Chains A and B, each alone.
Chain A
């Protein structure tokens, strides 16, 4: 009795879902002649959703600004920008699928890369196969770019460009720092950056006394931190995402672990980390690919860094971090390349991207032979008085390294 009711319900539900799916497929606007379509596969639900949503905000802001200025001009004609989104649910195999779907069914002209190095690399095989120029907004690992692909570009410099300047600053300002302890989230980017840190520490004559990984979803760092404390390093370097780093920082305070230098990547680049960590965020150092405190005068649709921050704030009512900025600059770069090529031909736009050499609100942009940006100097910064202060590069420096994290 009950069983049949249950079956009937599920059949009804299934039909409804199918109907909804087919409706949404037909409801998406038909391809118009004066529109350029950009495909953006994103993790809009699932564990990576916060990052995926940030990227969407960046793309949306660019599309809005580009359209407000009349669109992208090709051959004397203005084309409106349209972004086609698909949610791959934080599931990498699905990112590959939706990317293919966007090319073959949604007929997008160009693509943005999937989120993070892992998914971007996986999806890049598809875009390369169909020769669709793609710019990845959040892929830093060199392994993504060393596949010999021609149509794939990225706006993040290699991970060592974050750790090397940081190590050099610490070495110059804190000669007493000799021992480094590194604790890394066992995840593509956090682990890669920790390994780079290990390399640059060794290259600069520092001793790495502790290097361990913790699993994704770790609920307790106390055992690892106790061990670190017993080794009394002068520099503690922890990688992970906001939740991991908030927990690790709290447990450091709990166990009264102090060090002259404490670096956390990527938490302090985010406003919610600084707000949540409160006083314990003081004097933490970090590095990222972009920071709203920078000041570049660019030739892109946003003009300058401060104008980008202003426009972003007006639309979303908070300050952008490097995630949203990178997404927005990907759009702006496509716009510059398409206008330079003066064509929608994928090969011509690809060549225009490869030969791009321009300053944007993101900083100077020039892609290397492998497609990865090689012109950017990522900023090193420190939280001082609850505000991020840029320590490097020299041109946009706002303060000096302060020692002592208690």
Chain B
């Protein structure tokens, strides 16, 4: 009986992990930038949801509508004004740049919001539903659906829209894209903006599930990293597959080996993937 519960928990958690990772994966895949500020963007999104709910009583579901454009603009400007200047430098330079930006944003959040943990508690609480004899909290369920919807939306943007096709083109072959008349710098900014918007939305959803503090940003970043490697860089469906795989391994590992070994197991899996299948579950080889 509780094994069903463990599996359902893992599926739900997997979608949350996918939600954390998808923006990170997009930026890494398209721009070849390991965006270390991603975790802090998520936390900032959580604070936005928390603030809107506490001061104006705006439900986190509507906060997504505010967060997405806000974070898009923030990400777009960051890429356009700063990161584009070093985008052609070796990967260590962009890494250092996002590392520095992350330090600034994270410490600014500690300064303004303090490091105390806060919790967005909806009143009345949403409760839980019974699904195949397992209890599933409604807030997590909605967050799961939202994560799936965001993933689907990004998939459609990349497949159907002109700008999406341009992003894919730049990802496949930057030089060819330039020859075809794609403005690479602005595509980079759009991709980074989308990544930031996804991080902001993920943050809003995470506010319902996790305690909020600037200190959690590195935990989110770590999960995003593992999910990307497991699922495949830059692949939308890969983030989903990686997230669910990670959550399943953690859940089953916790049950049979104890919770302290869940993390060990997930990192062993990471190393195995790096050796055996470096392109990830759904990534394609030579896609740099």
A residues whose Cβ falls under 8 Å from a Cβ of B: 2, 6, 47, 49-50, 53, 183, 186, 212-215, 217-224, 226-227, 229-230, 242-243, 246-247, 250-251, 253-256, 272-273, 276-278
The stretch of B109-117, B160-168, B229-237 in contact with A is B109-117
B9 adjacent to A223 (CB under 8 Å): yes
Given A219-B219, A223-B6, check contact A254 B118 (CB 8 Å): no
B213 adjacent to A215 (CB under 8 Å): no
A230 adjacent to B2 (CB under 8 Å): yes
Kindly name the residue among A227, A251, A278 whose own CB sees the greatest number of chain B CB atoms within 10 A: A227
A247 adjacent to B9 (CB under 8 Å): no
Cβ contact of B258, chosen from A2, A6, A213, A229, cutoff 8 A: A213
Determine whether B128 belongs to the interface, using a CB cutoff of 8 Å to chain A: yes
B211 adjacent to A242 (CB under 8 Å): yes
B260 adjacent to A186 (CB under 8 Å): yes
B residues whose Cβ falls under 8 Å from a Cβ of A: 1-2, 5-6, 9-10, 13, 86, 89, 93, 110, 115-119, 121, 125, 128, 135, 137, 139-140, 209-211, 213, 215-216, 218-219, 222-223, 247, 250-252, 254-255, 258-260, 262-264
Residues from chain B with a CB closer than 8 A to the CB of A6 are 89, 93
Q: How far is the CA of A65 from the CA of B98 in the complex (A)?
A: 44
- For the residues of B in contact with A, the DSSP-based class is helix
Q: How far is the CA of A307 from the CA of B121 in the complex (A)?
A: 34
Q: How far is the CA of A43 from the CA of B211 in the complex (A)?
A: 22
A247 adjacent to B210 (CB under 8 Å): yes
Of chain A, the residue at the smallest CB distance from B211 is: A246
Given A223-B259, A246-B211, check contact A272 B254 (CB 8 Å): no
Given A212-B258, A213-B258, check contact A277 B119 (CB 8 Å): yes
Residues from chain A with a CB closer than 8 A to the CB of B93 are 6
A276 adjacent to B110 (CB under 8 Å): no
Residues from chain A with a CB closer than 8 A to the CB of B211 are 242-243, 246-247, 276
Q: How far is the CA of A239 from the CA of B140 in the complex (A)?
A: 24
A215 adjacent to B210 (CB under 8 Å): no
Across the A-B interface, give the 7 residue pairs with the lowest CB-CB distance, nearest first: A254-B137, A276-B119, A223-B254, A214-B259, A222-B9, A213-B260, A230-B2
Q: How far is the CA of A183 from the CA of B252 in the complex (A)?
A: 17
Kindly name the residue among A2, A256, A272 whose own CB sees the greatest number of chain B CB atoms within 10 A: A272
Task: Tell me, rounded to whole Å, the shortest Cβ–Cβ distance linking B9 to chain A.
Answer: 4
Residues from chain B with a CB closer than 8 A to the CB of A223 are 6, 9-10, 250-252, 254-255, 259, 262
B137 adjacent to A255 (CB under 8 Å): yes
A272 adjacent to B118 (CB under 8 Å): yes
Task: Tell me, rounded to whole Å, the shortest Cβ–Cβ distance linking B46 to chain A.
Answer: 13
A254 adjacent to B222 (CB under 8 Å): no
Residues from chain A with a CB closer than 8 A to the CB of B260 are 186, 212-215
Cβ contact of B263, chosen from A47, A49, A215, A229, cutoff 8 A: A215
A220 adjacent to B135 (CB under 8 Å): no
Residues from chain B with a CB closer than 8 A to the CB of A256 are 128, 135
Task: Tell me, rounded to whole Å, the shortest Cβ–Cβ distance linking B103 to chain A.
Answer: 10
Task: Tell me, rounded to whole Å, the shortest Cβ–Cβ distance linking B126 to chain A.
Answer: 9
16 pairs, CB–CB < 8 Å, chain A vs chain B: A6-B89, A49-B215, A186-B260, A214-B260, A217-B263, A219-B210, A220-B9, A220-B251, A222-B251, A223-B10, A224-B259, A226-B2, A226-B255, A246-B117, A246-B211, A278-B121
Q: How far is the CA of A215 from the CA of B259 in the complex (A)?
A: 7
Task: Tell me, rounded to whole Å, the shortest Cβ–Cβ distance linking A1 to chain B.
Answer: 11
Q: How far is the CA of A2 from the CA of B93 in the complex (A)?
A: 11
A218 adjacent to B117 (CB under 8 Å): no
Q: How far is the CA of A220 from the CA of B206 in the complex (A)?
A: 12
B121 adjacent to A226 (CB under 8 Å): no
Residues from chain A with a CB closer than 8 A to the CB of B215 are 47, 49-50, 243
Task: Tell me, rounded to whole Å, the shortest Cβ–Cβ distance linking B283 to chain A.
Answer: 24
Task: Tell me, rounded to whole Å, the shortest Cβ–Cβ distance linking A356 to chain B.
Answer: 34
Cβ contact of B135, chosen from A183, A254, A277, cutoff 8 A: A254
Task: Tell me, rounded to whole Å, the shortest Cβ–Cβ distance linking B44 to chain A.
Answer: 17
Of chain A, the residue at the smallest CB distance from B125 is: A253
Q: How far is the CA of A50 from the CA of B251 in the complex (A)?
A: 30
Q: How far is the CA of A54 from the CA of B238 in the complex (A)?
A: 43
Q: How far is the CA of A223 from the CA of B251 in the complex (A)?
A: 5
Given A47-B215, A254-B137, check contact A276 B118 (CB 8 Å): yes
Of chain A, the residue at the smallest CB distance from B85 is: A2
Of chain B, the residue at the smallest CB distance from A277 is: B119
Task: Tell me, rounded to whole Å, the shortest Cβ–Cβ distance linking A181 to chain B.
Answer: 12
Residues from chain A with a CB closer than 8 A to the CB of B262 are 214-215, 218, 223
A220 adjacent to B250 (CB under 8 Å): yes
Q: How far is the CA of A213 from the CA of B93 in the complex (A)?
A: 39
Cβ contact of A224, chosen from B125, B219, B254, cutoff 8 A: B254
A50 adjacent to B116 (CB under 8 Å): yes
Q: How far is the CA of A229 from the CA of B86 in the complex (A)?
A: 53
A222 adjacent to B13 (CB under 8 Å): yes
Of chain A, the residue at the smallest CB distance from B264 is: A215
Given A219-B210, A256-B128, check contact A227 B2 (CB 8 Å): yes
A254 adjacent to B128 (CB under 8 Å): yes
